[in-house]
Each structure stands twice: as structure tokens, then as C-alpha cells.
Chain A
């Protein structure tokens, strides 16, 4: 395995540092500058950058091409891949395509339903689900095999991640579900945005009680609110999102011109508190269309400078 193919994110985590990742959403057009500019802003403050895969089912420049742009800029990408749009042929093929550019991380997702996006009349594929996508990447990497059994020449060398939403229902299977993803082969986890810290801590306790924190690196997901309106939207309109009333109130009680700053404050405070939660090995900062705030959040949360790893 060549050195460029090794995941820096993986090395940072295995050396025991708190990792920091962030994400960029590709543009609704073919201009690569949109993604490059965003990535340029955050690159010195994070270890790797996730590229979303047609998030909320809105058609965008593809994740793989965006990852290649980042890779060519010397930024480490995390390829997000959903099972909604590709069958197993396309999935394995895209994994190989990514590996041919030595994209070293993949995040395996099922994806939002297409009814949320711009193609509600389209089909969805779901030939595999997210767990089976994890298994597929691991099979290709570890055994050098395709799902069909044939040998993969130059297997993909990827650090394999998955998402976890501690706030979705039913709560009692949220820890078992993580265990299942680990059994499928997940090596790192990026969680849903955390606003309900008590509930997150209860979930993490369940995770640690089963020793799962020893088996997987959990990056706690955070998203700063830009406004009280965004907090309300996330609370009421985004499925599987848990925003406690007091957080919405804190945003709403802040004068409009100070709300953005308050959103950052909440985010930084959350990171501070989450740092001491056993099993949290890093942070995934999803500043949705607000990448310019990532450096400030990382600095204020005491996560800068990022460790140098060669």
C-alpha cells in the first residue's frame, strides 16, 4: 500500500488525538470552484473533509468528482456514498474509481428518501443497505474480492465509516444498531448533529457499557445554528433531529443580529462538554453553507492547530 493511500484521519485517531472533520456540499452545477473555495477555507482546521452525496436527495455535482478535486488540492476527502442511487455494480465501480485516486475514507449511508429532493418522481435503488455497503467495502479491501467473488486487482484501501443517529427512534435499539454497524465492519462513526447532550450522553453510556467505544472511533456531530429560524426548522422539520426546547429558546431570546454568534457559542460549548464524554474520539463539524465559521469554531474549541502526521 502506498503512503498516499493511507488515511490521515485513521492515523490521527489511532494515535489517540481528537480528530476533526467537516463537510462540504457540492454545487448544483459543474463549477468546481464552488467546492474548492469552501475546502480552501477549512483545510488547515480539519483532518479530513466529507463530501456529501446528493444530500437531501437534491441533484448536485457528484461526491466522487468533488473528492478528486479535494485530493488534487492536497486535502483529505471522505467520500460519502448513499445506497439510494446505485446498484451493486455502480457502488463497487465507484469505490474502485475513488481508490484509483487514493481517496482514503468512505462514509456508508442509505441516504434520504428521494421524496425530499428535486426528483421525487424518480426510482430509488437500495440494492444494498448502508450496513451491506460497509460489508462490501470491507470485503473489497480486506479480502480483495468483489461481491460476485472475483478478485479485485489493487484492492481499495479505505478507512470505513458509517453514520449513527442516537436520536432516532426506537431509542432502545440505537446502541444495538451501532453494534450491528461495527459487526458489519464500520471503523469510524460520524453522528447526527447533537443538540440534546443529555440524550447523547445516555447513548454513549450504553455504547461504553458494551465496550463498543473500544471497537470504533466515534466523532460527535455538531452543527452551528445561523439563526433562531434554523433552530426551529431543524427541530420541527428535519426527521430524526432532536433539538431541545431550551436550545430553541436560547436562540429565539437572542437579538437577531447576535443570533449567528450565539449559534457558534452553543456549538463551541457543546464541543467543550462532549470532549469529556468517554468514547468521543473527535468531532464532525457540519457548518451547512457556513464553512467560513469552521476555523473559528475549531479555534475556540481548542482543537487547533491540527496534529501533523506524516
Chain B
């Protein structure tokens, strides 16, 4: 899923200070799971903002809505009737959702309420870690199912570097060395000899490097 983190409230206030009517728009998908932008966080942010404006002696109406998804036309239509009543919308969806709201409500002020961090997994409640950088050509088949692009600090395809120490990465003793994990798993698979196969120079044109990407599936288009 997409993992995000709440923005500091001061940053949000800076954008919406002049508003009198605000919509806080949550999303029921990834940001709910990572507890950054679901219904609960919409409520928390709305209360904090109400408190702030009250202290400022300013009357501001703050409404709360949480959609099933913000990256889908269908669900975004649900606020069609009300969107233009607000001075601004603060979207707590990932960067995709924020942009989709802004595209759809073209003349409306839309601000992000979270920092979108990475594609990752919930390791335990309150701990999310990165797993993928959407490089567009998955190489997990060659790296024992562990992604060195997202999990090695130098995205080495033929690691580990000389800084790998006690299973940890040279940049941070809290961080697992991706290449240690790869080797451990190759061993568990009984395929340690695969380590010596050189991974070829990667075609990064399917990655961010190739410019904004598109997936087209004519067979499923209507």
C-alpha cells in the first residue's frame, strides 16, 4: 500500500488560515490503514483546527467527509454538489488523491494534509516499512524476492557494499541490509550459488527516469 504520514498542523494552518469554510477530506484506503488520513484522522485534524480558530477568535466552519477512495472518479463525484461551498479542501489522501481532487475540482483550492512516503507494508501496528519503488520492471525473481532498489540505500543490483555490518546497513544500524536479507533467503532456498549471477545493467526507462508513466489496457477499457 501507499504509506503516508500526517503533516504538522502548523503547515496546514499556514495554507488555510484565511478560510472560513473548510472541508477535510479523508480516504478509506491506504491512508486509513497507515492511520494518516482515514475517518479517524479527519476527525482529529478537524477538531484541532476548530480549536485553533476558536483560540484565534475566528469563526470557521469545518466539515468532515471520508470517501471510499480519492483516486477514483466515481467516489470523487460524491462531493460534486458541495465542493464549491468551501474556501478550500484539505485532502488527507496520498499525493495521488490530492491531485485527483484538484484535477476534478479545477477552480477549488486543494491542499495536502499528509506527506506521502513510500510503497510499503505494515510490519506491526505503528510501524510501516518500504518495499517497492515502482521501478516498472520487477526484478524480484532474481533477488530472492527482496527488492534491492527500495531496500538497499544505494539500490545496488549486485550488492552488498563494503559497509554491510552484522546484517545492518552502513547508513543506519537500525536498518536491515537488503543484501544480507537476500543472501539469507538465497540460503534458505538452497540457491546461494545464484548470488554469483551478475544482474545486468538495468533499463531505468520504466522507472521515474523515463518520465511520467502510463498503463494502458485496451482489453478492459469500455
A180 to B183, CA, bound (A): 14
Residues on the B chain within 8 Å of A131, using CB: 157-158, 198
Residues on the B chain within 8 Å of A127, using CB: 204
* From B153, B157, B167, B200, contact of A169 by CB (8 A): B167
Cβ–Cβ contact A128 & B154, under 8 A:
no
A interface residues, Cβ below 8 angstroms from B: 83-84, 88, 110-113, 115-116, 124, 126-132, 135-136, 147, 163-165, 168-170, 172-173, 176-177, 179-180, 183-184, 192, 239-240
Residues on the B chain within 8 Å of A136, using CB: 201
Cβ-based interface call for B156 (8 A)? yes
Residues on the B chain within 8 Å of A126, using CB: 154-156
Cβ-based interface call for B180 (8 A)? yes
A179 to B160, CA, bound (A): 14
- Chain B, Cβ-Cβ closest to A128: B201
A180 to B180, CA, bound (A): 16
Contact A240-B165, Cβ < 8 Å, known A170-B183, A180-B196: yes
| Shortest CB distance B180–A (Å) | 6
Contact A173-B165, Cβ < 8 Å, known A126-B154, A132-B201, A147-B201: no
- Contacts A172-B192, A239-B164 known; list 4 others, CB within 8 Å: A84-B154, A110-B161, A116-B171, A239-B170
A239 to B158, CA, bound (A): 19
Contact A240-B158, Cβ < 8 Å, known A132-B201, A170-B164: no
| Shortest CB distance A302–B (Å) | 29
* From B165, B184, B201, B204, contact of A168 by CB (8 A): B165
Contact A129-B180, Cβ < 8 Å, known A168-B163, A169-B164, A240-B170: no
Cβ–Cβ contact B198 & A184, under 8 A:
yes
- Most B CB within 10 A of own CB, among A130, A132, A183, A239: A239
Cβ–Cβ contact A129 & B196, under 8 A:
no
Cβ-based interface call for B120 (8 A)? no
Residues on the B chain within 8 Å of A128, using CB: 201
Residues on the A chain within 8 Å of B196, using CB: 176, 179-180, 183
Cβ–Cβ contact B165 & A183, under 8 A:
no
| Shortest CB distance B150–A (Å) | 12
A192 to B170, CA, bound (A): 15
Cβ-based interface call for B43 (8 A)? no
Interface positions of B from 150 to 201, Cβ below 8 Å from A: 153-167, 170-171, 177, 180, 183-184, 192, 195-196, 198, 200-201
Residues on the A chain within 8 Å of B201, using CB: 88, 128, 132, 135-136, 147
| Shortest CB distance B211–A (Å) | 15
Residues on the A chain within 8 Å of B161, using CB: 110, 130, 168, 240
* From A132, A176, A184, A192, contact of B162 by CB (8 A): A192
Cβ–Cβ contact B171 & A113, under 8 A:
yes
Cβ–Cβ contact B156 & A129, under 8 A:
yes
Q: List 21 A-B contacts (CB under 8 A).
A: A110-B156, A113-B153, A113-B163, A115-B153, A126-B154, A126-B155, A127-B204, A129-B156, A132-B158, A135-B201, A147-B201, A168-B160, A168-B161, A168-B164, A169-B166, A169-B167, A177-B160, A180-B158, A180-B195, A239-B162, A240-B162
Residues on the A chain within 8 Å of B171, using CB: 113, 115-116
Cβ–Cβ contact A168 & B162, under 8 A:
yes
| Shortest CB distance A29–B (Å) | 27
